[in-house]
Amino acid sequence: MSRPLCFVLMPFGKKPDAAGLMVDFDAVYRELIAPAIDAAGLDSLRADEEQGGGIIHKPMFERLMLCEYAVADLTTANANVFYELGVRHAARPWSTVLIFAEGARLPFDVALLRGVPYRLTPAGLPADDPAARQLLIERLHEARDPKPDSPVFQLIEGWRTPDIDRLKTDVFRDRVRYSAQIKERLAAARRHAQGAEMLRSIQRDLGPIEDVESGVVIDLFLSYRAVKAWDGMIALVEGMSGPLAATVMVQEQFALALNRAGQGERAELVLKELLERRGPSSETYGILGRVYKDRWEDALRRGEDHLARGLLDNAIGAYLRGFEADWRDAYPGINAVTLMELRDPPDPRRDRLVPIVAYAVARRIAAGKPDYWDHATRLELGVLARDEQGAMAALGDALAVVRESWEPETTVRNLRLIREARERRGDAVSWAGDLERALERRAGQT
């Protein structure tokens, strides 16, 4: 996997500083900044010079928001660099490192921010300064820790990180604007029996993926998911631009595709690396739980009972950590409860967890615009509680908001596991099969 990207905000070519010295910023990048970024274990991505229009182009905004790390050279107080730094500070609470040439006069608003000074020669070239390079390397390492370096997040109480990395994948298409023609072609492919081949044709027409705007790429990515073309998802990630491929949402869905394509161990590595890099996440842990769950079922089919029990416990642990990372996200919570029910004997923690999961999903629904997974969670809770009336009501709500066939198929799989486990214990529920059949019919209509 490629290393995390560090976006560099700085002037280009030769520009005069406040004292009239012509600074060779290309040399500063080449001899100081890029080597330090490489030594810090990152890949550098320098901003392209923007021409005309008076505003930053869309790709620039994407880099500012999507690159995990950034270095901003404030020497000469370049207006473009400060505008870009402002966007970055509003979008990212941490991971932005400031540098400036010694003697540079910084504007008041940034003069007090912690920066890395470097020396220039009388010719405007970066001096051979190992201490400055080492300090920049150290600051880049420190930027991996989630400690706010943005004054916006430090000073404005309640300022929240924009939902960039972890866009709700199922509604992403409704939140981006791009070619209506491409959007309709992708939608038509998702509805077609030969959807995977149609999507591959669209991708060929788009040309090099790294040059295609992110909205189109992500819609194509999720469209491959909708038609279960896992290899298409995997190949697409490998062709994406670095900043887009490195986003949390893409990496999570990449791991999901790897798992569905039978590469569970690789999926596990991707998710663990993401957790190491970004910290606990309900979504990341939820997908990791699914990886362990699939491997548990495979072990059961092979008759490896001891391995299966260990993998089941791993799955429960991952889902539980996901729910604990964000109590508002009921998805990992309901999966933890369901798998606790499947243990032999059942995990007694499920009785304490069910009311918490039920409250979490109730609050999500009350907040407005519930999605399929909210109602599917209520449905599973109804089955677990043997509440036929509640389960049937949730079933109707879930069927009405199905978007893609794999959604009800996933719920059917969970319900079947619960039913079979109870049947083995002589604790069958007569109406449980009706729910599965209704969901299977709806999957076939999608």
| pLDDT tens string 273-299 | 999 888 888 999 999 999 999 999 999
Over residues 186-230, the pLDDT tens digits come to: 999 998 989 999 999 999 998 888 777 777 888 999 999 999 999
Q: Are residues 150 and 9 in the same domain?
A: yes
The answer, yes or no, to whether residue 35 has pLDDT greater than 50, is yes
Asked if 200 and 232 touch (Cβ cutoff 8 Å), the reply is yes
Asked if 109 and 81 touch (Cβ cutoff 8 Å), the reply is no
Q: Are residues 209 and 123 in the same domain?
A: no
Q: Are residues 61 and 124 in the same domain?
A: yes
Q: Is 187 inside a domain boundary?
A: yes
What local confidence, expressed as pLDDT, does residue 178 receive? 56
Look at residues 280, 286, 289 and name the one whose alpha carbon lies nearest to residue 312. 289
The answer, yes or no, to whether residue 58 has pLDDT greater than 90, is no
What local confidence, expressed as pLDDT, does residue 152 receive? 74
Q: Is 32 inside a domain boundary?
A: yes
Q: Are residues 50 and 139 in the same domain?
A: yes
Q: In angstroms, what is the C-alpha Rg of the chain?
A: 25
One-letter amino acid of 59 = P
| Non-local CB neighbours of 158 within 8 Å, separated by 6+ positions | none
What local confidence, expressed as pLDDT, does residue 337 receive? 95
Q: What would the two tokens of residue 308 be?
A: 């299966």
What local confidence, expressed as pLDDT, does residue 48 receive? 55
What local confidence, expressed as pLDDT, does residue 171 receive? 43
| Non-local CB neighbours of 216 within 8 Å, separated by 6+ positions | 178, 179, 182, 206
The pLDDT of 149-158, averaged and rounded, is: 72
The pLDDT of 247-252, averaged and rounded, is: 89
Asked if 154 and 148 touch (Cβ cutoff 8 Å), the reply is yes
Count of the separate structural domains present in the chain: 2
Q: How much is the mean pLDDT over the chain?
A: 86
Q: Which of 257, 280, 300 is the last residue of a domain?
A: 257
The pLDDT of 135-147, averaged and rounded, is: 86
What local confidence, expressed as pLDDT, does residue 157 receive? 67
Q: Which of 121, 155, 189 is the last residue of a domain?
A: 155
Which residues constitute the domain of residue 60? Answer: 5-155
Q: Are residues 122 and 209 in the same domain?
A: no
95 DSSP assignment: -
Angle, in degrees to the nearest 10, between helices 248-260 and 214-226: 30
Which residue has better confidence, 31 or 151?
A: 31
Asked if 320 and 291 touch (Cβ cutoff 8 Å), the reply is no
What local confidence, expressed as pLDDT, does residue 199 receive? 96
Q: Which of 257, 287, 310 is the last residue of a domain?
A: 257
Q: Are residues 198 and 74 in the same domain?
A: no
Q: Are residues 25 and 144 in the same domain?
A: yes
